Structure 1
Amino acid sequence: MEKYNEGIEGIAAEEEDEELDLVALVTANANDTSQYLIFEGSDTQLYAKNVSKIEELLVYKDIDMVRTHGNDLILGTADIRGNMTTIVNFDKWYGNEILDEREYELIILAHYGGHRLGIVVKRVESIVNIPPDTMTDNSENDEKTSFITKVNIGQKSQMCIIFDSDKMLLDIFDTIDAKAMEDTKAIQKVDTEKMVLFADDSKFIRKMAEGLFAKMGLKYRMYENGQLLIDDLKNMAPEEIALFITDLEMPVMGGRDVIDNIRTNKKYNGVNIIVHTNMANANMGDSLIGAGAQRIIGKVNMFALGESIKEMIV
């Protein structure tokens, strides 16, 4: 990863009128689900976002935006490459001090959950690899945090917060949860006694999935990370399992390792895998299918997930 760090270190020193293309920086390693963009908050704390959910970086002052009034979280709407994009200030959402606008340099353009979101940040530090087994779950201490870890920035080891992107999405677009449940009303029950195994570190996504499974009359087990799912396989026979559903970005063991563990065991050859993720990288999707997943479904689209479950269940 050294060349990626070299490519983005000192990014704030770039000419301000140049667009910063993150996609070009990560293309050579696009299938690495452990790649994170590190940025600094107004509190000087380091935060991280998985690059699979990021399209590019943009210079904040270059964006023409219509301001929003009456919404505490949304700054406005900008036309980015022909797509109307909601713009939010990360510090405002997270609860940090709001700085003078001139101190905010970049917009992280993210595309997940069927929504484009421009996240305004003070400064980007680097792109680093964060292995899942180095992450510690911190969601009980802070609902906006998925986990915490340590990263090396400029020869210095520092604490870093990996924030809950799903929580951000649900906070910004506050009708998503209700709409997702409304969309599941037409989904029919599934006639099976087998178990669906579902792994996702976000408690908000697990809650939504539990509501879907209940409507479908499914038996299921929920796991906060991939390792818990894999460890639990010894407690059930392969013929008891109807389907695996896994997120990609999780602590301890991520979704790619879950797929590898399942597909290296021939006992589960007949059981399908759905990847439930908000990644924006198409190349990564191709890689996951090649690794043994049957389908990739975007998060919070409960109708699409329900329809895929009906098709994929064995």
Structure 2
Amino acid sequence: MAGVLDSVNQRTQLVGQNRLELLLFRLRGRQVYGINVFKVKEVLQCPRMTAIPNSRSVVRGVAHIRGETIPIIDLGMSIGLPGVPEENLPTSFVIITEYNRKTQGFLVAGVDRIINMNWEDILPPPKGAGREVYLTAVTKLDDKLIEIIDVEKILSEVSPMEEDVTEDVLSRNERDRGGLRPVLVVDDSSVARRQIERCVTAVGLEVITKNDGKKALEFLKEITADGSNVTDHLAMMISDVEMPEMDGYTLVTNCKADPSLSGLYIMLHTSLSGVFNRAMVEKVGADDFMAKFSPDELAERVMHIIDNL
């Protein structure tokens, strides 16, 4: 336990400083990719896998790891690249990750190293990249481009989840919320923005979306530039944590330090979970935290917050 707490304390030193750690890896070829270390549970040599009948081709099988049966997804195949050849499996690696309350392994050709970076150096994908691109961000290291993959988009295609609020939840919360102030949703993943927007609009609230923390902060400062308070314009903000240019932790830190923004109710809604993230949420002063993505749970939490503000 002491080791875990020491690790928490060490990681939380990055919070509010707009920094992150990336694990660098390769698929096919020389291109380097990155994944936030906070989403990585462990990295191991490709274990023995058991094929799953009638599964999608990108799911190479399941592996029994530390008492869990974990699906192994070929990350290259999931973004349209050739997968790891069968003969290369013994020298390949699996990155065990936790996203959206689920554990899965990503099969990659090779793992490089961990680097510490500033979110300001992590940029959105080029505008001409298109809507179907599997990237949430890019950055450079030693003049080499590093691509950060939109894992939420991949998982929504490999294992689609229910995105709609159930009638049972809606029927138990039929209060008319028309005319209430809108909810600001901040997320760099187009899939996540769509999921949250559908959920919040289903309970009768208007939604404004922004792609990252920097754009959100600029918007918040713009609507309060006339001296008004942010609560005159918005009911609450739901923000992701991992975002290019400015992460959710830094966004919260900036909001809570600004008198005109500090009264805004902020929920961090993230695919990161566990003791590390909860310690960080407490440190930056967010009002609430929820792990992605349960439409019913999010809808009920939003309605409870709105009805009690």
Q: How does 1:201-280 map to 2 (within 5 A)?
A: 201-233=188-220, 234-236=222-224, 237-240=229-232, 241-280=234-273
SS in 2 for 1:65: coil
Task: After TM superposition, give the deviation of residue 143 of structure 1 in Å.
Answer: 2.2
Whether 1:65 and 2:49 are equivalent positions in the alignment is: yes
TM-score normalised over the length of structure 1: 0.82
Q: How does 1:111-126 map to 2 (within 5 A)?
A: 111-126=98-113
User: Does the CA contact (< 8 Å) of 2:23 and 2:115 recur in 1?
Assistant: yes
Identity, % of aligned positions: 22
Q: 2:211, 2:20 → 1: CA distance?
A: 17
* Partner residue in 1 for 2:156: 170
User: Does the CA contact (< 8 Å) of 2:140 and 2:146 recur in 1?
Assistant: yes
Q: How does 1:144-155 map to 2 (within 5 A)?
A: 144-151=134-141
* Partner residue in 1 for 2:163: 180
Which of 191, 197, 207 pairs up with 2:184? 197
TM-score normalised over the length of structure 2: 0.84
Task: After TM superposition, give the deviation of residue 112 of structure 1 in Å.
Answer: 1.2
Task: After TM superposition, give the deviation of residue 83 of structure 1 in Å.
Answer: 2.1
SS in 1 for 2:50: strand
> CA RMSD for the aligned pairs?
2.4
Task: After TM superposition, give the deviation of residue 182 of structure 1 in Å.
Answer: 4.8
Q: How does 1:290-301 map to 2 (within 5 A)?
A: 290-301=283-294
Deviation string for 1:202-231 (max 9, x for gaps)?
111111111112211112210001111111
Matched AA of 2:42: E
5+ residue gaps, structure 1, are 1-22
Q: 2:169, 2:287 → 1: CA distance?
A: 24
Q: 2:241, 2:295 → 1: CA distance?
A: 17
SS in 1 for 2:82: coil
Which of 17, 23, 27 pairs up with 1:41? 27
Q: 1:305 to 1:184 in 2, by over 3 A?
A: farther
User: Does the CA contact (< 8 Å) of 1:184 and 1:303 recur in 2?
Assistant: no
Whether 1:143 and 2:129 are equivalent positions in the alignment is: no
User: Does the CA contact (< 8 Å) of 1:52 and 1:281 recur in 2?
Assistant: no
Aligned residues: 283
Matched AA of 1:46: V
Matched AA of 1:186: V
Q: How does 1:15-30 map to 2 (within 5 A)?
A: 29-30=10-11
Task: After TM superposition, give the deviation of residue 27 of structure 1 in Å.
Answer: 5.8
Q: 1:172, 1:74 → 2: CA distance?
A: 8
